[in-house]
Amino acid sequence: MQNESKAIGKREQARLAGVAAELRAKEHLLLNGLHFVEQNYSVPLGEIDLIFKDANQWVFVEVKYRADNTHGSAAEQFTSAKRNKMHKAIMCYLQQYNLNLNHTSLRIDVVAIDDEQLEWLTNV
């Protein structure tokens, strides 16, 4: 029972750290001139952490956080599998809001946060 409550405590801590990382990323992008549209867009095929507009370009953002780099950096956690799931979610978003892929300028950015260091990778 005690091990189970420790596991729940660790999961909750990880969830809260993820929420804080998304908030930090959102604030950073706002301070850099992007316009916030939506957060935590989710469909069965995937999810998008943050959605912004940068002038006429849609910006779909994945936020990755690592408290330490024991298992690799935050940026390294944006794998091809994650990119594929995110791409599927973007296609759903475009369809839901009647945005034509051929006439919609978009990019995927990653905000990687390793402990206190934030790195914004554009057009990954």
Look at the pTM and tell me if it is higher than 0.95.
no
Contact 25, 111 (CB under 8 A): yes
Return the pLDDT at 116: 85
Percent of the chain with pLDDT over 90: 71
Q: What domains are there in the chain, each with its CATH number?
A: 2-121 (3.40.1350.10)
Q: Which has the closest alpha carbon to 21: 122, 112, 121, 120?
A: 112
What are the tokens at 89?
Answer: 């979610």
pLDDT in tens, the chain (124 residues): 455 555 567 778 877 878 889 999 999 999 999 999 999 999 999 999 999 999 999 999 999 998 877 778 888 889 999 999 999 999 999 999 999 988 999 999 999 999 889 999 999 9
Contact 82, 112 (CB under 8 A): no
